[in-house]
Amino acid sequence: MVLNYIVPLVITLVLVVLFVTLCTIFLKNASEEKKLIPIKVVFFLLIALEFCKIFYLIATNGHYEPSRYPIVFCSMVMFAYPLFCFKKNRFSEVAKSFSIIPAFVIFALFVGIQWKFNMSLIQGHSYLYHGAMLAVAIYLLTSKLYKFEFKKCFPLFIVLSAYILLSTVLSLFIGGDISYFGPNSSYLGFIYNNFGYVVGNCFVVILFFVLCLSVYGIIALCQRRKKKEEVQNV
Amino acid sequence: MDKFIFHGIPNLIGALFSIVFVWFCVIKFKKKSYKDKLKPLIFLYVMLIILEVIKIFYHITVQNAYPAQRYPIVFCSLIMFTYPIICHSKKETIAVRISKALSIIPCVVIGFCYLFILPDVSSGFSSYSFVMNLHSRFYHFCMLAGALYMIFVKLYDFRFKDFFASGLTVSAYFLLCTVLSLFIGGNLSYFGPTSAPVQFLYQAVGYAVGNVLLCIVAMLLSLASFAFINLCISLHKKRKTSRNLKNLL
Amino acid sequence: MFDILSLILISIFFPIIVLVGKMLYKKENLSRKLILGLTITFLAMELLRFFVVASYYEGAVIPSKEVPYSFITLSCIVCLFAVFNKGKLGKIFQGAFCLTSLVPIIWALFDSAVYTNAYDTHAVAKALYFLECGIVLTIAFLLVSEQKITAWSNLWASILLAIFAVLDCLVITFWETKEAITLMWGITLIVSFVSIGAFYGIYLLACLLAKKHKDKMIDNGKENG
């Protein structure tokens, strides 16, 4: 338990904290373009990790199973990074919000289940992957590249639900068990067993809506109160 | 003899009826406004929908099943989707032009193929129910009548540029049907996986590749038909002008 | 035999249809929009091809021998960089992508294992591969008509092909996709290298012809006044 779960988790968290603090301190007064460089590095790291995974899996197991395809819920940030770290376009802000709240959720879910598994090379890869994701999410906040605004929550919700539905459809199409939200998921298996797979996915979408709304709402309320206090102070 | 009774006589009767219908409508609506010209098409459209509903009811009540082959997404039900666009239009947008083109050229081709060239399908009274066959025949004659009416009242001037868009639309419809066919696993339309006339193509290269090739053929046919019609129109115009000149001289 | 015929037919007619459409409907920025649309379609089709192939196997577990990987996968990635990167790197990728646009077709001509699959009863993956070949050619033509290709692009294209060759060697040895690297594989590679030169030669010829045509037009204009 200690060696399989706590030690890698602590190492990951230390690495994340190191990455975030070093990057924020060194790039504090840099331009926005330079601030994005660490994210670019992480993006290429993630892609390299993905390729390594594919090669490793096929070379050792002799096949490539659907739960390892890069369309799981965890790999969606990989598709969001290039939208804002190379060139600004109209999807940049959505992509940024896409890689913050979901990243925290994913990391929490990931940590919540890892005590079940033994340490292996793929497991280490997983820790690195999810740690990198979390690091970027925190870095985006600490470097002030992203600002919370209440209106950003709706596009985020739409993109999120579209991604979930897309992976659901793909999962049904292939008949495989894609992502944590596949038919045999360890978290939501009971919902799927009771209501069926598609209904369960709709439930997940609603859950995400509530989550987005509550997080963005609370932050918006806090900001408003802060502003009021400032006005009063003045 | 059997062939004549089951194939020839119904066709003759149908042809007679559709000619009378087209003639009557052309005489009545030729010199009226654009809106009035659409009235026969609306009539035909309502009729097609009634026919479709009757078909579904017949299948479910009498035969207790509604096979995928009979869903209204076959190639022949293309006009079911183009007529409402034509009938409810106030301006002549590109969508209206294309749907007009689609409800003339492919309909004439399909109608003639179904009624006169492919007797093994249209005279298959023994292979399928009598009522359904009559229904099918009626449907295709409606289609032909609509197309002929549109040609004679000059609702559509065959603009050469439209060949691309109409060919593309037919191909898109085609591919949609293919995808649906693969999903449902049914034998949709004439170009389904076990269809008779294009079976050799499917066996040689496979169903999906065969369909892509058919799309290319559809594009080429669209080009050829538009080119031919435009050639005819320009020849006709030339002859008319020369005759007018002669009369003047 | 019929496969090869249909491959050639589709990959010839697809560009023709698109280019005819572009000629008929002259609109502003149509070329750029077409390139963007086709690139996204290309990516979507490549992904779809993977999933279609995956769905043939039980539980979608693809055996390593059947992973639908070929030059077209690399071509797809290069195409994304070529279209969306407007810097210097983008131009390099553009040249490499344009000159290697014939390679997927050659690979399919020589080795039918690239697109065929024993479980592919309706030939969906095959149709997707053929259409992708057409799309690659179309994007290449559109890019060539927009931007000039320098002689250096030959080098970049060759490097791209060499990278693919190395990757393929790795894949063949580690994934055991084939028995060993055969003579056919080598011949295909050599023909692909030749095709880069051939494409560049045709491009130069077309440029020359266009220039002559332009000069003639100018001369005619001068004579007329």
Residue-range definition of the domain harbouring residue B79: 1-156
Residues B99 and B213 reside in one and the same domain: no
> In this predicted structure, what is the pLDDT of residue B187?
65
Residues B126 and B168 reside in one and the same domain: no
Most A CBs within 10 A among C61, C80, C86, C170, hence the mutation to make, goes to C61
Comparing alpha-carbon positions, the chain C residue that sits nearest to A62 is C64
Residues B145 and B167 reside in one and the same domain: no
Q: Where are the domains of chain C?
A: 2-224
Domain boundary among B135, B156, B177: B156
Q: Which residues of A touch C51 (CB under 8 A)?
A: 170, 173-174
Instruction: Confirm or reject contact between C13 and chain B (CB < 8 A).
Output: yes
**Nearest CA-CA distance, residue C89 and chain A, Å:** 13
Residues B42 and B73 reside in one and the same domain: yes
Cβ–Cβ below 8 Å for A175 and C60: yes
> In this predicted structure, what is the pLDDT of residue C138?
94
**Nearest CA-CA distance, residue A56 and chain C, Å:** 9
Comparing alpha-carbon positions, the chain C residue that sits nearest to A58 is C64
Domain boundary among B89, B123, B156: B156
Cβ–Cβ below 8 Å for C63 and A62: yes
> pLDDT digits over A24-67, tens only?
888 888 888 888 888 889 999 998 998 888 888 888 888 887 77
- Contacts of residue B165, defined as CB under 8 A and 6 or more positions apart, other chains included, come to B94, B97, B98, B101
Domain boundary among B156, B187, B210: B156
Q: Which residues of C touch B161 (CB under 8 A)?
A: 24
Residues B129 and B237 reside in one and the same domain: no
HSE at residue C42, side-chain half, CA atoms within 13 A, is 26
Residues B23 and B143 reside in one and the same domain: yes
> In this predicted structure, what is the pLDDT of residue B126?
46
Instruction: Confirm or reject contact between A229 and chain C (CB < 8 A).
Output: no
- Yes or no: say if A9 and A112 are a contact pair by the CB < 8 Å rule: no
Which two three-digit tokens encode residue B2? 């059997």
Q: Which residues of A touch C62 (CB under 8 A)?
A: 63-65
> In this predicted structure, what is the pLDDT of residue C17?
92
ipTM of the assembly?
A: 0.86
DSSP character at residue A4: I
**Long-range own/partner contacts, residues B226-232 (CB < 8 A, 24 or more apart):** B226/B105, B226/B158, B226/B160, B226/B162, B226/B163, B226/B166, B227/B160, B227/B163, B229/B158, B230/B158, B230/B160
DSSP character at residue C60: G
The per-residue pLDDT string of chain C (225 residues; one tens digit each, 9 = 90 and over) reads 788 999 999 999 999 999 999 888 888 888 899 999 999 999 999 988 988 888 888 777 888 878 888 899 999 999 998 988 888 888 899 999 999 999 999 999 988 888 888 888 888 889 999 999 999 999 999 999 888 888 888 999 999 999 999 988 888 887 777 666 788 888 999 999 999 999 999 999 999 998 999 888 888 887 776
Closest CA to B67 of B118, B138, B132, B141: B132
Comparing alpha-carbon positions, the chain B residue that sits nearest to C22 is B164
**Nearest CA-CA distance, residue C132 and chain A, Å:** 21
- Yes or no: say if A117 and A123 are a contact pair by the CB < 8 Å rule: yes
DSSP character at residue A64: E
Chains that touch B (3 or more CB pairs under 8 A): C
- Beta-ladder partners of B55: none
- Contacts of residue B6, defined as CB under 8 A and 6 or more positions apart, other chains included, come to B123, B125
Q: Which residues of B touch C3 (CB under 8 A)?
A: 205, 209
Residues B38 and B114 reside in one and the same domain: yes
Distance CA C182, CA A178 (A): 36
Cβ–Cβ below 8 Å for A176 and C54: yes
Q: Which residues of C touch B206 (CB under 8 A)?
A: 120-123, 126-127
Q: How many CB atoms lie within 10 A of CB B17?
A: 13
> In this predicted structure, what is the pLDDT of residue C98?
92
The per-residue pLDDT string of chain B (249 residues; one tens digit each, 9 = 90 and over) reads 566 666 677 778 888 888 898 898 888 888 888 888 888 888 888 988 898 888 888 888 887 888 777 777 777 788 888 888 888 877 778 888 888 888 888 888 887 777 766 655 544 444 456 777 778 888 888 888 888 888 888 888 888 888 898 899 989 988 888 888 777 766 665 666 666 667 788 888 888 888 889 899 989 999 999 999 999 999 999 999 999 999 888
**Nearest CA-CA distance, residue C110 and chain B, Å:** 17
Distance CA A188, CA A200 (A): 8
**Long-range own/partner contacts, residues A4-10 (CB < 8 A, 24 or more apart):** A4/A115, A4/A117, A4/A118, A4/A119, A5/A114, A5/A115, A8/A119, A8/A123, A8/A124, A8/A127, A9/A111, A9/A114, A9/A127
The minimal CB distance from C6 to the residues B164, B205, B219 is found for B205
> In this predicted structure, what is the pLDDT of residue A80?
86
Residues B200 and B138 reside in one and the same domain: no
Cβ–Cβ below 8 Å for C64 and A62: yes
> pLDDT digits over A98-135, tens only?
888 888 888 888 888 777 777 788 888 888 999 999 99
Residues B195 and B236 reside in one and the same domain: yes
**Nearest CA-CA distance, residue B205 and chain C, Å:** 6
Most A CBs within 10 A among C56, C66, C171, C175, hence the mutation to make, goes to C175
pLDDT classification of A234: cutoffs 50, 70, 90: confident
Distance CA B140, CA B128 (A): 17
What are the angstrom distances between the C-alpha of C1 and each of B211, C110, C120, C202?
18, 12, 18, 27
Residues B179 and B130 reside in one and the same domain: no
Cβ–Cβ below 8 Å for B216 and C6: no
> In this predicted structure, what is the pLDDT of residue B1?
57
Comparing alpha-carbon positions, the chain C residue that sits nearest to A177 is C59
> In this predicted structure, what is the pLDDT of residue C75?
93
Cβ–Cβ below 8 Å for C127 and B208: yes
Most A CBs within 10 A among C62, C69, C81, hence the mutation to make, goes to C62
> In this predicted structure, what is the pLDDT of residue C56?
84
Distance CA A133, CA A107 (A): 8
> In this predicted structure, what is the pLDDT of residue B174?
84
Q: Residues 155 to 214 of B: which have CB under 8 A from any C CB?
A: 161, 164, 168, 182, 193, 204-213
Residues B131 and B246 reside in one and the same domain: no
Q: How many CB atoms lie within 10 A of CB B178?
A: 25
> In this predicted structure, what is the pLDDT of residue B125?
45
Structure-model confidence comparison of residues A14 and C176, the more confident one: A14
Structure-model confidence comparison of residues C97 and A234, the more confident one: C97
Residue A228 dihedral angles phi and psi, to the nearest 5° = -60, -45
Give how many domains chain B has, as a whole number. 2
The minimal CB distance from C59 to the residues A58, A69, A176 is found for A176
Stretch A15-25: mean pLDDT: 90
Distance CA A61, CA B48 (A): 58
